[in-house]
Amino acid sequence: MKKLILFGWLALSAVSHAQELFTMPKGGQSRVSSFENVNGVKGNGGKTNNGAKGNAFEGLKAGESKTLLETNSPGIIQRIWVTIGDRSFKMLRSLRLRMYWDGETKPAVDVPFGDFFCANLGRLVAFQSALFSNPEGRSFNCYIPMPFKKGAKVVLTNEGSTNLSQLYFDIDFLELKKQPEDMLYFHAHWNREIAGAPDKDFDLLPQVNGRGRFLGVNVGVNVDSVYGNTWWGEGEVKMYMDGDTKYPTFNGTGTEDYIGTGWGEGVFMHQYQGCLVADAKKNQYAFYRFHIPDQIFFYHDFKARLQKMGGGDDPEVKALQKKGVLLQPVSIIGAHGAFTRLAETPYNLADANFPHGWVNFYRVDDYSATAYFYLDRPTSNLPAIIPVQERVR
């Protein structure tokens, strides 16, 4: 009986997905915006060079902005594809991607171009996930549905000091007659923290007000070499929602645990979770987690944080503290799994009776993150992106 129920559920699921493929929305018009037909105007593509590939790309000079899409009707962006000639870290962080919904002057998306597409730290890796892909390490694809009720505008700005000679793009979208009233708008926010107090958690997503859904995050870490060979990724992800104050509703167990692995973090690429960069020699890590099957909704407010915490064996941690390295022990895993909570029972690392074992400790590394979420309004209370000089340092 259980097998029949499972088979029936799978069959219904398959039929549902199949129906999506052959069901047409009322009045839906398929459009693609590219330099060959900006805004996807009907019957207006390929006018240059007698239709023989006359405007496949354009440049983007330092300080210049280009509007990749502007439409004044209801619709939904279904896919974004971009490739650029200069894919250096500096260019990927200098390009500023903004998206506006329903005629608003404040963008719902305001992020560095590369980080938005999971090219965190400027490291381009071939991968495929549920929301983003980079087939051969040379392009940028996004499949997140981005609906709007009155219109949309997508702008790319070169805030760097170097001209970009080649920019190619496609934005695939549908024009629709109407959107449902309870539709949610797509948003994305980028944050970076290089310094700061070790016991102050890093904001993956600062507090956002409204009703919506947290879709996920991609994170990059430049590990500070001052901490030697100790592990950086003991920090827990915490999500505060709907009035949470000191303590969150969602509390994970460790950084690599959050993306579905354990006991360290190597390279892997799955639909909803992955680690694209695990470079111990260059002290760089980049990873993602998308909450698609495990939906996270909020009804009043939401924020997500990651503790800046690492760990190492007690002799190495003691040596670091003796050198004056900034750290703060918080717990020890001793023999046979014995756990000592140092925040409750303080110990000095220099004490002769300090327990032996693995010491978890607050530390300071360079974190950056792009958070993706839906909200019941086309703008949010979040601040604008930080200046380009701070993004590329």
Q: pLDDT tens track of the chain, all 393 residues?
A: 344 333 333 333 443 444 578 888 888 999 999 999 999 999 999 999 999 999 999 999 999 999 999 999 999 999 999 999 999 999 999 999 999 999 999 999 999 999 999 999 999 999 999 999 999 999 999 999 999 999 999 999 999 999 999 999 999 999 999 999 999 999 999 999 999 899 999 999 999 999 999 999 999 999 999 999 999 999 999 999 999 999 999 999 999 999 999 999 999 999 999 999 999 999 999 999 999 999 999 999 999 999 999 999 999 999 999 999 999 999 999 988 889 898 776 667 777 778 889 999 999 999 999 999 999 999 999 999 999 999 999
Give the model's pLDDT for residue 346.
Answer: 65
Give the model's pLDDT for residue 2.
Answer: 40
Give the model's pLDDT for residue 14.
Answer: 42
Give the model's pLDDT for residue 342.
Answer: 86
Q: Which residues contact 214 (CB under 8 A, 6 or more apart)?
A: 205, 239, 291, 296, 297, 298, 302, 304, 371, 373
Q: Is 335 helix (H, G, I), strand (E, B) or coil?
A: helix
Distance between first and last Cα of the chain: 61
**Two structure tokens written together for 206:** 């600062």
Hey, what long-range contacts does 131-134 have (CB within 8 A, 24 or more apart)?
A: 131/215, 131/216, 131/290, 131/292, 131/372, 132/288
Give the model's pLDDT for residue 3.
Answer: 42
Distance CA 232, CA 254 (A): 10
Amino acid (one-letter) located at 224: D
Give the model's pLDDT for residue 347.
Answer: 67
391 C-beta neighbours (distance < 10 Å), count = 24
Round the average pLDDT of the chain to a whole number and report it: 93
Give the model's pLDDT for residue 383.
Answer: 96
| Interior angle at CA 382, CA 378 and CA 383, nearest 5 | 120
Contact 351, 174 (CB under 8 A): no
Distance CA 80, CA 171 (A): 5
Q: Is 42 helix (H, G, I), strand (E, B) or coil?
A: coil
Contact 140, 117 (CB under 8 A): yes
pTM: 0.93
